[in-house]
Structure 1
Amino acid sequence: MSDNKIVFEHAVTTFTHERWDADGQDAPFALEALEEGKILFFPHLSFSLTADEIALLDPTLVDPKRKNISFQPLKNRLTGVAATERIPTVRHLLERYYQDCCRLAAAILPLYRQTLHSPANTLRLHPITAWTNTTSWRKDDSRLHVDAFPSRPTHGQRILRIFTNINPNGENRSWRVGEPFPQLAQRFLPNLGRYSPLNSWLLNKMGITKTRRSHYDHLMLQLHDAMKSDRDYQQYGPQLAVDFPPGSSWICFSDQAPHAAMNGQFMLEQTFFLPPEAMKNPRRAPVKVLESLLHKPLI
């Protein structure tokens, strides 16, 4: 483990909220910390499961061809459930979680209320070790990384994620958290590969990407891969170990906060996208950080 450790308070801001429709008095503080790239940690914000929902906590419920069970609430589209008779219970669980996440975001991040979009969530039932031992290094999320999607370019949209540990056996969700994004970008940017508009066009034409990759998307994928492939950085780079106990929740911009999932099982995760111009301080968005370093537009 690295001796170059990050101070907890520099990476994580803790809140005492116990309700998803939280008192919004901390909203300005939460917004500032989130846009700085910190994790918002709610150690007492749990998501209660019914007896029928607790019975869903079984990895065999997940389709063997998929990593997780996924739900798009606005489309009522549920995928990844192996047992068809459990589909109504799973859908109800994920719809409830989506609604609670909307309440939380409205309470502590009211500035984003009208601009958060494209919600999707997942029920993660496998232990982290089940996929870290069998996947390629690019897909190994136990390595420090920032989120970037190979097939779904974001064109600078922020990736906001809410997580909740629903483990019934007392097991923590253990993460490593990395350095602030500006330092990260300065470290890796000189060695990232060149962007090819032609290659971007070809990938989209062949159906490999849903839309053309922008220069920004190219750089974020390169950064994602460069971080994961650098063993020295994984071991000795700036980092902090953080445990999220059962019954806790946390929020971060996962395209900005370097993170690695090290241990744990049974989690709910809600994703939203946010236009960078909807931020209080858009200059902190990764696209703006990279543009300032390169002195040119990337979208």
Structure 2
Amino acid sequence: MSGLISSQKPPSHHPFSAAAEAIWIPANADAPTRAVEELENGKIVMLPYEPFRLTHEEEAFLNPDCLDPGSKSIKYSPTQRKIWGAAEQHKNSTALAGLMARYADFARDLVNRLLPRYSAALIIGNGSLRPVEVEGRVQSKRHDDRLLHVDSFPSRPTQGKRILRIFANVDPSGKTRHWQVGEPFADVAARFAPRISAPFPGSALLMRLLRITKEKRSPYDHYMLHIHDQMKLDDEYQAAASRSDIHFPAGSTWIAFTDQVSHAALSGQHAMEQTFFLPSDAMRNPLLSPLRVLEALGCPTLRGLTAKGGREG
């Protein structure tokens, strides 16, 4: 089962769940090597002493009314310097865009310091501000992050690249963010991948032409998206799958390869997140990537797919 790793032991007032398998990493010269090793093995690296602090002006954006009614988060593209998902009165807010840009810079600085091995190869993706309470939110199963899942983006194929995400609990009231972490990816893949049919020939090109996807969906993306969906739609699995609880304190930051860590967000409000993509061949051990795990299971259409691209599905 996945565990929890920290660069330092958190102060006694941080309410960690005893059920979480905690492994502490001293803040020393060995921390970057250890962090890479543990992340690639499907662990979560937690940094209780790396808080992202909002200004008094920025705290106004923690109000759920700042969201567009049809959105669950405010999104930001660091490359385009663009926000979306915000309520009409905030769509052109320079203060909101500044907050999102500042968090993207914070996340980039953090991975550069903690994960220098990845720095040159990392590709920055979108970030998000999540001001809505997770618990009690009504959504379809495919969109319900309270169910155990691994991340895969329907409209943004990764073509084998890893999904590295940096989260921060910025709740001003001190509320923790409650996650559950499930079984290792190899076990998830062994359970669900054999149920998945190969992609229909030409389907990836058609979805790209119809602008359903931003890039051409590779066979890898096909399998990962179906694993994501089948995990959430399988009621028996959701009821019986092994899991442990992690409570992330307000002010804490944590990092995970969320395409590998089976996770569910059960409760919490006011979080920020920044996504990065990492080519699988930039890993210390590429054999631990979901791409190579699926290949080892014999998914036939994955043969020859590299982190730099993929064949059409």
Question: What is the TM-score of this pair, normalised by structure 1?
Answer: 0.90
Letter matched to residue 78 of structure 1: I
Aligned to 1:99: 105
1 CA distance for matches of 2:103 and 2:29?
19
Q: Map residues 30-69 of structure 1 onto 2, 5 A cutoff.
A: 30-69=35-74
Aligned to 1:14: 6
Aligned to 1:195: 199
Deviations 1:3-54 (A, max 9, x none): xxx4xxx422122299xxx865400000000011111011232111111111
Letter matched to residue 6 of structure 2: T
Report the Cα offset of residue 159 of structure 1: 0.6
Q: How many residues align?
A: 286
1 CA distance for matches of 2:29 and 2:279?
22
- Aligned Cα root-mean-square deviation (Å): 1.9
1 CA distance for matches of 2:208 and 2:9?
44
2 CA distance for matches of 1:60 and 1:46?
25
Do 2:66 and 2:90's aligned partners in 1 also have CA atoms closer than 8 Å?
A: no
Deviates more, 1:97-106 or 1:29-38: 97-106
Q: Map residues 122-161 of structure 1 onto 2, 5 A cutoff.
A: 122-129=128-135, 131=137, 133=138, 135-161=139-165
Letter matched to residue 281 of structure 2: E
Letter matched to residue 15 of structure 1: S
Question: What is the TM-score of this pair, normalised by structure 2?
Answer: 0.86
Aligned to 1:27: 32
Report the Cα offset of residue 285 of structure 1: 0.8
Report the Cα offset of residue 170 of structure 1: 1.8
Q: Map residues 68-87 of structure 1 onto 2, 5 A cutoff.
A: 68-82=73-87, 83-84=89-90, 87=93
Deviates more, 1:279-288 or 1:95-104: 95-104
Q: Map residues 174-253 of structure 1 onto 2, 5 A cutoff.
A: 174-253=178-257
Deviates more, 1:115-124 or 1:138-147: 115-124
2 CA distance for matches of 1:275 and 1:177?
24
Do 2:83 and 2:91's aligned partners in 1 also have CA atoms closer than 8 Å?
A: no
Deviations 1:164-197 (A, max 9, x none): 0011112111111011111111121221233212
Deviations 1:68-111 (A, max 9, x none): 11111222112222223871211121121111111110111001
5+ residue gaps, structure 1, are 1-5
Q: Identify if the C-alpha distance between structure 1 residues 257 and 284 changes in structure 2 by more than 3 Å, giving closer, same or farther.
A: same
1:90 equivalent among 66, 84, 96: 96
Aligned to 1:121: 127
